[in-house]
Structure 1
């Protein structure tokens, strides 16, 4: 295990924890409008009710987006350093697709 693999693992695991936390808070309706975390589309930012309703609709996708991040973080702990460069692309691609689908669901729920 190298410093690079530890940095990659910690970064991906931390990002996974943040996505999981935000998805759980969104599902509970406890994610209030803020400047840091959440889906930031005009429809969701228009009102507090729209923000909460949209995030409740997107919550399963936000929670699911933490799975590739956790998997990538664990993979980084055990993989050879030559494979670490190939971890980021599929992990981020799957996470991004899930967040984009969640954004579409959130916008549909508000409209």
Structure 2
């Protein structure tokens, strides 16, 4: 076992333990908004709810990255080779990629959580199927799109609200599409 392997293992174990603690706290919902650990961006720091949602979304990936780092550190110490430090370096690179990816998803979730009205629900579509997430009738797109002959969204139509609702069910049902089937939403 070389000195380089020991140093690499220690350098890998420290963030592994931090990410493990942060991931577990995020998953349990006990991680409070702060400027030191967790997913921190303007979106996630905008409210306690956004921070909690973001860190709950990122938690499985953060825990997975911690496990990868722990495994890489153990392999670095366990393999008796001059090149064993590459296990720790590889684990660090993989873990950083994973944490970066889940952080991106977490920021998206925080944006969604901070823009959501608690009472709004799925209010962008009017009519009896406003809260129905099942397949919409075939007339939904043409009857509810509210577009003029050029395919642009007219003011006062429910499609003008596309991108404003948190559930996106209207987007999925085609209300944000004009007659020419091109996206006309502000999303």
TM-score range normalised by the length of the shorter chain:
0.7 to 0.9
Instruction: Return 21-30 or 89-98, whichever deviates more.
Output: 89-98
1:34-93 CA distance string (max 9 Å, x none): 222111111101111100111111111111111221011101112345214423442122
Structure 1 residues 29-44: aligned runs within 5 Å: 29-44=29-44
User: What is residue 77 of structure 1 aligned with on the other side?
Assistant: 77
Gaps of 5+ in 1: none
Distance of 1:86 and 1:76 partners within structure 2 = 7
Higher RCO, 1 vs 2 (CA within 8 Å, ≥6 residues apart): 1
Aligned residues, how many? 111
Aligned-residue CA RMSD (Å): 1.7
Larger relative helix fraction: 1
Gaps of 5+ in 2: 113-187
Higher gyration radius (CA): 2
Is residue 87 from structure 1 mapped to residue 87 from structure 2 by the alignment?
A: yes
